[in-house]
DNA sequence: TTTGCATGCAAGTGCTTACTTACATTATGG
DNA sequence: CCATAATGTAAGTAAGCACTTGCATGCAAA
């Protein structure tokens, strides 16, 4: 087996187990077993459990989703577009749910993780903010509310899905209605819950 | 020192430390020190670290906030009322942030915790749902969207505050604008972000 | 074939930590 | 003031775990 493959296997196993049980409760023996390698091999590659842990973070933090990078031009149909953006971002973030949980659980003991946790959410909020800014200039979104607040409000719904899925296995509040819920949320977000006078 | 006081001190210390570092990473010695009690006393009261942990959960799960129990009659001013309800619920939940974090971190190893995690959120969502139902009959809220979806959408904003505060120390997204943000969010939630034609 | 490198295997070391035991000390209520 | 219960102190035990060492094995390139 090539060296790089072994390393990858160990990193994968470490990510999965540490995100499940926490760093302290995860043994190097268990990681090695999950990676189908000898425990000694683990130490030969990473020296210590802590360095392995930090290597996991380094590797995962590298992979940004390009997904969120590019900006989106508002088309006019806010509800439809936000439904798609929301579903898209949600899927992207859920792909990193394990890593998110791992960081959040260990940030107390490793404060240097802190900045990584916010990175993806901040990028998502940033993209949404720009989207709303453009929609304002197009005259389809209100001018009297800060775009960042809009972005954070919208993002909060996605964040709830991420957190519940990462920590509890699935969206315990929406259960199996998550997909349908996104459209209904977008509807509320765009038009509000208040009854229109017209 | 009376027996009950000692027990309480140990339970308090255990809650604080375990919610910080996780069960496995928290030592009985550290808990005893924080509680200003001898380590042996801890074992005399709780037999084992695990039983102490479960005792913490039992105690905390007992204290429901009556806060959320009673229903609220919509007054007509949705934005103002939801701002107040949101701030109120948020404060109530933040008072249990440590316990929330503890449960969420250990639920993988102790699945029996699961039901406790959802209890408070479900109660909050339930109350909001009833609130929107009543507001519908009063004709101030749209009838074409499910009240539960509305409740979950609104709750998601509170949930984000809870999670970020519990795990990261404060609301990293809204930073120091949390209070002001609640009103702006309520505004968006009630009236939507779309520009009105009228 | 040979050399070197990655891995496996077996055994062990030293430290931490949950938990115990035996005894001394303090506090409290009758 | 005495009896009893609660707590402190000191020391130790047993187990788990991170990490090491020495050696054998297989594999791939020269």
Contact A9, B8 (CB under 8 A): no
Q: Which of B19, B22, B20, B12 is nearest to B42 (CA)?
A: B12
On whether both B71 and B119 belong to a single domain, the answer is yes
Integer Cα distance of B59 and A8 in angstroms: 43
B157 in any annotated domain: yes
Domain assignment of residue A198, yes or no: no
Q: Residue B127 phi/psi, 5° resolution?
A: -65, -45
A35 lies in the same domain as A118: no
Whether residue A41 contacts residue A32, with contact meaning beta carbons closer than 8 Å, is answered with yes
Residue A104 lies in a domain: yes
Tokens 């509000």 appear where? A192
When pLDDT is averaged across residues B157-174 and rounded to a whole number, the result is: 97
Distant-in-sequence, close-in-space partners of A18: CB < 8 Å, separation ≥ 6: A26, A31, A53, A56, A102, A106
Same structural domain, B56 and B112: no
Q: How far apart are CA B151 and CA B160, in angstroms?
A: 14
Give pLDDT tens digits for B129-161: 999 999 999 999 999 999 999 999 999 999 999
Which neighbouring-strand residues pair with A194?
Answer: B141
Query: Cβ–Cβ of B181/A104 closer than 8 Å?
Result: no
B76: confidence class by pLDDT, cuts 50, 70, 90: confident
Is residue B65 predicted with pLDDT exceeding 80? no
Q: Which nt has its C1' nearest the CA of A28?
A: D18
With CA atoms as reference, report the closest residue to B90 among B192, B38, B163: B163
DSSP annotation of A25: T
**Are B51 and B109 part of one and the same domain?**
no
Main-chain dihedrals φ then ψ at residue A35, nearest 5 degrees: -85, 0
Quick check: is A196 in a domain? Answer: no
pTM score: 0.94
B79 & B32 share domain = no
Please tell me the distance from the alpha carbon of residue B144 to that of residue A137, in angstroms, as a whole number: 30
Chain B CB contacts of A185 below 8 Å: 149, 153
Work out the pLDDT band at B105, boundaries 50, 70, 90: very high
Residues of chain B neighbouring A78 (CB-CB closer than 8 A): 193-194
Cα A152 to chain centroid, rounded: 14
The 10s digit of each residue's pLDDT in A53-90 is: 999 999 999 877 655 657 788 888 999 999 999 999 99
User: Are B29 and B121 found together in one domain?
Assistant: no
Q: A-B interface: how many C-beta pairs under 8 angstroms?
A: 154
Residue that terminates a domain, selected from A36, A61, A86: A61
CA atoms in the 13 A half-sphere facing the CB of A120: 24
CA–CA separation, B178 vs B161, rounded Å? Answer: 8
Residue B52 belongs to some domain of the structure = yes
Which tokens belong to B113? 């915790």
Please tell me whether residues B23 and B46 are part of one structural domain: yes
Tell whether A139 and A174 lie within a shared domain: yes
Domain harbouring A15, CATH code: 1.10.10.60
Look up the domain containing B40 and give its range: 3-61
SS3 B141: strand
Alpha-carbon span B144 to A14, nearest angstrom: 47
In angstroms, rounded to a whole number, what is the distance separating the alpha carbons of residues B1 and A178? 53
| B198 within domain boundaries | no
Q: Is the per-residue pLDDT at B179 higher than 80? A: yes
pLDDT at residue B178, as a whole number: 85
At A196 the pLDDT is 80
- Looking at the structure, tell me whether residues B48 and B76 fall in a common domain: no
Beta bridge partners of B141: A194
Q: Which of A97, A138, A153 to mutate to test the interface with B (most CBs of B within 10 A)?
A: A153
A112 with A172, same domain: the answer is yes
Share of chain B above pLDDT 70, in %: 94
Instruction: Let me know whether B90 and B161 are in one domain.
Output: yes
Torsion, Cα B4 B9 B11 B14, to 10 degrees, reads: -160
- Give yes or no: residues B23 and B89 share one domain: no
Given A61, A81, A101, the domain boundary residue is A61
CA A79 from chain center: how many Å? 22
Predicted complex ipTM: 0.93
| Within A 13-42, residues with CB less than 7 Å from strand D | 26-29, 39-40
- The Cα–Cα gap between A113 and A103 comes to 6
Domain membership flag for residue B196: no
For residue B172, the domain's CATH number is 1.10.357
Q: Does A78 touch chain B (CB under 8 A)?
A: yes
Question: How far, in Å, is the CA of A171 from the C1' of nucleotide D14?
Answer: 43
Give pLDDT tens digits for A113-150: 999 999 999 999 999 999 999 999 999 999 999 999 99
SS (H, E, C) B14-46: HHHHHHHHCCCCCCHHHHHHHCCCCHHHHHHHH
Whether the CB-CB separation of B57 and B113 falls below 8 Å is answered with yes
Alpha-carbon dihedral angle through residues A116, B171, B130, B70, given to the nearest 10 degrees: 130
Helices of type H across A70-177: 78-94, 97-106, 114-137, 147-168
Q: What is the mean pLDDT of residues A153-174?
A: 97
The answer to whether A175 contacts chain B (CB < 8 Å) is: no
CB distance A156–B157 less than 8 Å? yes
CA–CA dist B2, B20 (Å, integer): 28
| Number of domains into which chain A is organized | 2
Q: Is B76 part of a structural domain of the chain?
A: yes
The token duo for A7 is 């390393």
């Amino acid at each position: 087996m090539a060296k790089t493959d072994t390393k990858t296997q160990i990193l994968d196993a470490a990510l999965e187990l540490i995100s499940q049980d926490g760093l302290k409760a995860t043994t190097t023996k268990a990681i090695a077993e999950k990676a189908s390698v000898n425990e000694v091999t683990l130490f030969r590659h990473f020296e210590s459990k802590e360095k392995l842990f930090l290597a996991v973070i380094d590797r995962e933090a590298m992979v940004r989703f390009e997904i969120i990078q590019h900006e989106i031009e508002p088309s006019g149909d806010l509800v439809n577009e936000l439904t798609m953006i929301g579903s898209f971002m949600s899927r992207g973030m859920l792909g990193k749910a394990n890593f998110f949980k791992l960081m959040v659980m260990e940030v107390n003991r490793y404060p240097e993780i802190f900045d990584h946790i916010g990175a993806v959410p901040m990028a998502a909020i940033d993209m949404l903010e720009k989207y709303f800014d453009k929609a304002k200039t197009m005259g389809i979104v209100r001018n009297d509310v800060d775009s960042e607040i809009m972005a954070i409000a919208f993002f909060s719904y996605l964040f709830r899905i991420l957190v519940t899925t990462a920590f509890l296995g699935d969206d315990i509040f929406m259960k199996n209605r998550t997909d349908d819920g996104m459209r209904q949320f977008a509807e509320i977000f765009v038009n509000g819950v208040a009854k229109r006078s017209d």
